[in-house]
């Protein structure tokens, strides 16, 4: 489990001032987070509850009042994007040539000392930044990403043809323009049933849109008809479906 830096820092304050497995109220949290508005404090507590870092229960004396309890220790919670020092010495990066010249960063006018201070910490120790490893993308997420940025049609068509895709997941986060772009490409692939389904979703949208690529292609007549149906200016060569 990874939590963002802002949340980890607020958790740390709570942990140090409240302690582990000690019950506290919103009023106590408000005193600790005196620099935040109520909305931000509620957000903090709700996020910590959602991640099972704190437990929430109703007060025995007044059921309208929530009581909170920290149930995870600091060391058990990794945090992202925080730079921490290590005991490992800095190692030279080889910014000086073997002749000892000052050819640094593509120029001969820079002083070696300036480069040194840019690359080394004052303590002479290396620092590391803990970063959250991005989750592996599903094929649906990868496809949606390409559609959202209106990537060239050919690679999108290749994905659609070769992979088993849940299109409900793909279109979940696409706007009308992007769904129409996907629909036009599906029609080129002769996936008529799915294309028709997307067409029915977007047929009331009469706006026309264009994709402005770096390279303008000569669009075949048969694709121009598809483009007209989907109210889009396609920019695509003849696609050999068998070669995808």
The mean pLDDT of 146-169, rounded to a whole number, is 83
Burial 10-41 (b: 16+ CB within 10 A, else e): bbeebbeebeeeeebeeebbeebbeeeeeeeb
Beta carbons within 10 angstroms of residue 75's beta carbon: 6
126 or 97, higher pLDDT: 126
Q: Residue written as tokens 């006018």?
A: 109
Give the residue-averaged pLDDT of 34-45. Answer: 90
pLDDT tier at 100, thresholds 50, 70, 90? very low
Please tell me the distance from the alpha carbon of residue 71 to that of residue 79, in angstroms, as a whole number. 17
Beta pairing, strands 125-130 & 82-89: antiparallel
Average model confidence (pLDDT) for the chain? 76
CA-to-CA distance for 39 and 50, rounded, in angstroms?
Answer: 16
Q: Which of 58-67, 126-135, 154-163, 207-216 has the lowest mean pLDDT?
A: 126-135
> What pLDDT is attached to residue 107?
45
pTM of the model as a whole: 0.47
- For residues 147 and 178, the answer to whether their CB atoms sit within 8 Å is yes
What is the predicted pLDDT for the residue at 124?
A: 55
How far is 189 from 186, CA to CA, in rounded Å?
Answer: 5
The count of residues in the chain is 244
Please state the rounded mean pLDDT for residues 70-82: 70
**pLDDT the model gives residue 98:** 42
**Which pLDDT belongs to residue 97?**
42
CA 239 to chain CA centroid, Å, is 32
- pLDDT of 134 above 80: no
Q: How far apart are CA 159 and CA 165, in angstroms?
A: 9
CA max distance for the chain: 79
Token readout for 152 is 């060239």
Q: At what angle do helices 5-18 and 38-50 cross, to 10 degrees?
A: 90
Tell me, what's the pLDDT at 108?
Answer: 44
Of the candidate ranges 17-26, 129-138, 147-156, 210-219, the one whose mean pLDDT is the lowest:
129-138
Q: Please give the domain boundaries of the chain with CATH numbers for all domains.
A: 5-76 (1.10.10.10), 139-243 (no CATH)
The pLDDT value given to residue 200: 92
> How big, in percent rounded to 5, are the helix, strand and coil portions of the chain?
45, 15, 45
């Amino acid at each position: 489990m990874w939590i963002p830096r802002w949340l980890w820092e607020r958790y740390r304050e709570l942990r140090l001032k409240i302690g582990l497995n000690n019950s506290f109220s919103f009023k106590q949290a408000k005193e600790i987070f005196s620099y935040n508005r109520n909305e931000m404090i509620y957000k903090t507590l709700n996020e910590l509850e959602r991640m099972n870092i704190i437990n929430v229960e109703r007060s025995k004396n007044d059921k309208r009042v929530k009581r909170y309890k920290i149930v995870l220790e600091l060391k058990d919670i990794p945090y992202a994007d925080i730079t921490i020092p290590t005991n490992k010495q800095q190692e030279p990066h080889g910014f000086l040539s073997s002749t000892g010249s000052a050819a640094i960063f593509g120029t001969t006018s820079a002083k070696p000392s300036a480069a040194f201070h840019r690359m080394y910490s004052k303590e002479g120790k290396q620092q590391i930044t803990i970063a959250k490893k991005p989750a592996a993308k599903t094929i649906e997420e990868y496809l949606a990403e390409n559609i959202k940025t209106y990537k060239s049609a050919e690679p999108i068509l290749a994905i659609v043809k070769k992979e088993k895709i849940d299109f409900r997941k793909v279109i979940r986060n696409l706007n009308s323009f992007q769904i129409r772009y996907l629909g036009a490409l599906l029609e080129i692939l002769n996936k008529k049933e799915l294309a028709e389904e997307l067409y029915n979703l977007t047929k009331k949208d009469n706006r026309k849109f264009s994709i402005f690529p770096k390279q303008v292609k000569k669009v075949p007549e048969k694709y121009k008809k598809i483009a007209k149906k989907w109210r889009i200016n396609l920019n695509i060569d003849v696609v050999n479906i068998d070669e995808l």
